[in-house]
Structure 1
Amino acid sequence: MTRLSAITPSGHAHVGNYLGAVRRWAREGSAGDLYFVSDLHAMTTPYHPQRLRARARELLAVLIAAGIEPDQVFVQSDLIRQLGALTWLLECACSFGEAARMTQFKDKAGAEGRTAARVGLLTYPVLMAADILLQGADEVPVGDDQEQHVELARALARRFNSTYGEVFVVPSAVTPAAAARVRDLADPARKMDKSRSDAVGVVYILDDPDMVRRKVKRAVTDSLGRLEYRPDEQPGLANLLEILAACTGKAPREVADGFDSYDRLKEAVADALIEELRPIRDRVRGLLDDPLELDNIRAAGAVRATERGSHRLESALRLAGVG
């Protein structure tokens, strides 16, 4: 069975990405799993080309540094010729209505104005379907915000198979195991976001220990002075307890019993984060400082991903009348 997961380089990798997804992939993944850096998805809104390239490399290094096997990773844009061809086939099997009713498109296009939104924002769920179908993924772990996109991939796979011939595995969306949901330290009402311009509440994997400590020390709590795990009433405090719990392997309510002040809790959270991130940060920096090793891992991943998808793409092109 092949399970496929991705991470988008819309910003620097942060502790929420690591505790919420990447660490779990490394610890709980199986030999058939695939993980990729979805840099093409980061192009649906305005971006800086050099930053995109650098962040894609950084995220690839993060996946490796976290302990994911090098033969399980690749970068999406290294398959751009295959994905471009398959995306066109799938776009020609997808209706405008199906694409336009994707919730993320409506939300983002609504904020930007539909006439100003890029066409790629409308069609990127079809590219996501191509990502999934090209690799023959059986399962795609996703949150609620992406489940609709997997449903589109399922619909397009079925439609293509029934119209032209059996080529694609029909994937299933699966709910990943519960993991840490890290909130912004400065604004616990929202999740930690790597694309947010204000980084005061975002702890990045490459932050040095002093920076981590400063950000945690400034974390928003409350004036209740009650050290209990109450996410609805005390979201800032709950966020700190959840981070400490994720780092120590304990339950948030259990770790709350060990402190008598917010300051001491913040000190413990900072210490735990620094130690949790230290080996990952050191390994990432080592990979980024040794371009040859990272380039070799990336090149080998591109070859394997290309080989995995080539027969499906060739069959799909031939059956669609253009190969």
Structure 2
Amino acid sequence: MAGAQRVFSGIQPSGVPHLGNYIGAIRNWVQLQKTCGNNVMYSIVDLHALTVHQAPLLLKRNIKNMTVCLLACGIDPKQSIVFQQSQVPEHCELMWLLSCQTPNGWLNKMTQWKSKGATDNKSFVNIGLYAYPILMAADILLYKATHIPVGADQLQHLELTCDIAHTFNSRYGVEFFPKPQPLLSEGKNQRIMSLRNPLQKMSKSDNQEMARIDITDTPDQVHNKIRKAVTDCTSAVTFEPEERPGVSNLVSMYSALSGKTTDEVVEDFTGKETVELKDGLTQVIISYLKPIQEKIIELEEDEGHIEQILTDGARRARERASVTIRGAKELLGIN
């Protein structure tokens, strides 16, 4: 990336991230700190989490746990701004200003909304779920972010953000908001699938704990989950995502954590069976997660330190956010 880049990304406080979160997003966030200087912001987007019912005490604990895990994975508050979304009220203020620029037809087209409307009990689908893409746009535009690490399933939301920014700029005759560009954070072998259904992404919302590896899982838990991971009736190790998604998912995980290509992993296991791949992958995961887990234990012992990081992060975020809000309100004639 050339020039002055401003990176923003957010993660919901689902508690402890799973291996898919780490490989597909968090590890890339750590690398971005090294290339973008002090222009990197990572938010724990707790307001987005409220689109479904949250037990208050559990949500509070999950916010802390997610912060601890991000830090343990390598997010450095000296290099990045790490903050809790709800502690920066300008997010909601800008969301309202942008809502008044956004046709509801745009929201009706959002794929995730249409899928939710089709599967959920419509009497319980709330306005927050419908409008949260505007909050996502506000999250990004509030800091005039230019580059957004996203997975392929979030590209539609980023396109909406660009449409909203363009509408605002055109209506008021200024280039106030930049057009944010995607940084696809799920490249080759970074899209980690469910251990129980390898046609679906590994997800925290999956009710089957056996479907994912949490980064705090013990060696015994890792061993048990990988041993029972769905593969197929062929014992050979190959990388064929379309034909053999289960085995290919295990090869992808091995590749992502070992630094080897998928071809190299397959070559290493030529003449061996899937059970041996599972045993090898188990050891790779356990070894990889060990220093992260040790750091988590260390950070959990100093709760005040975690709170201070979030407080400092919110202060730094508000310094930037307040400038954008003042400018937007001035253009709107309400400042």
Q: What TM-score results when the alignment is normalised by the length of structure 1?
A: 0.94
Q: For 2:25, which of 17, 21, 24 is the aligned residue?
A: 21
* SS of residue paired to 2:280: helix
For residues 183 and 163 of structure 1, the distance between their equivalents in structure 2, rounded to whole angstroms, comes to 43
Question: Deviation at 1:321?
Answer: 2.7
Query: 1:239 — aligned with what?
Result: 249
Query: 1:75 — aligned with what?
Result: 84
Query: 1:57 — aligned with what?
Result: 64
Question: Deviation at 1:261?
Answer: 2.0
Query: 1:5 — aligned with what?
Result: 9
Cα 1:269/1:58, change in 2 over 3 Å: same
* SS of residue paired to 1:200: helix
Q: Identity over the aligned pairs, expressed in percent?
A: 37
Deviations 1:162-200 (A, max 9, x none): 323533223223434625221111221211101212111
Query: 1:200 — aligned with what?
Result: 210
Query: 2:225 — aligned with what?
Result: 215
Q: For 1:94, which of 76, 81, 102 is the aligned residue?
A: 102
Q: Is the aligned partner of 1:150 residue 2:165? A: no
Q: Is the aligned partner of 1:229 residue 2:239? A: yes
- Note if contact 2:107-2:131 (Cα within 8 Å) is conserved in structure 1: yes
Cα 1:12/1:63, change in 2 over 3 Å: closer
For residues 121 and 103 of structure 2, the distance between their equivalents in structure 1, rounded to whole angstroms, comes to 21
Q: 4+ runs of 1 displaced by more than 6 Å?
A: none
Deviations 1:16-57 (A, max 9, x none): 111111112213442222222112111112222222222222
Question: Deviation at 1:11?
Answer: 5.0
Q: Is the aligned partner of 1:273 residue 2:273? A: no
Q: Is the aligned partner of 1:118 residue 2:126? A: yes
Question: Deviation at 1:308?
Answer: 1.1
Query: 1:172 — aligned with what?
Result: 181
Q: Is the aligned partner of 1:295 residue 2:307? A: yes
Cα 1:101/1:114, change in 2 over 3 Å: farther
For residues 19 and 175 of structure 1, the distance between their equivalents in structure 2, rounded to whole angstroms, comes to 13
* SS of residue paired to 1:5: strand
For residues 112 and 213 of structure 1, the distance between their equivalents in structure 2, rounded to whole angstroms, comes to 35
Matches within 5 A, 1:180-191: 180-191=190-201
Q: Is the aligned partner of 1:262 residue 2:269? A: no
Question: Deviation at 1:222?
Answer: 1.6
* SS of residue paired to 2:209: coil
* SS of residue paired to 1:173: strand
Deviations 1:210-236 (A, max 9, x none): 111111111112221122222222211
Query: 2:41 — aligned with what?
Result: 34
Question: Deviation at 1:68?
Answer: 1.9
Matches within 5 A, 1:129-148: 129-148=137-156
For residues 176 and 188 of structure 1, the distance between their equivalents in structure 2, rounded to whole angstroms, comes to 19
- Note if contact 1:136-1:309 (Cα within 8 Å) is conserved in structure 2: no
Deviates further, 43-52 or 235-244: 43-52
Cα 1:251/1:211, change in 2 over 3 Å: same
What amino acid is the match of 2:74? Answer: G
For residues 230 and 153 of structure 2, the distance between their equivalents in structure 1, rounded to whole angstroms, comes to 27
- Note if contact 1:86-1:313 (Cα within 8 Å) is conserved in structure 2: yes
* SS of residue paired to 1:264: helix
For residues 122 and 156 of structure 2, the distance between their equivalents in structure 1, rounded to whole angstroms, comes to 20
Deviations 1:213-265 (A, max 9, x none): 11111111222112222222221111111111111101122112223122221
Q: How many residues align?
A: 322
Matches within 5 A, 1:305-316: 305-316=317-328
Query: 1:47 — aligned with what?
Result: 54
Q: Which runs of 5+ in 2 are unaligned?
A: none
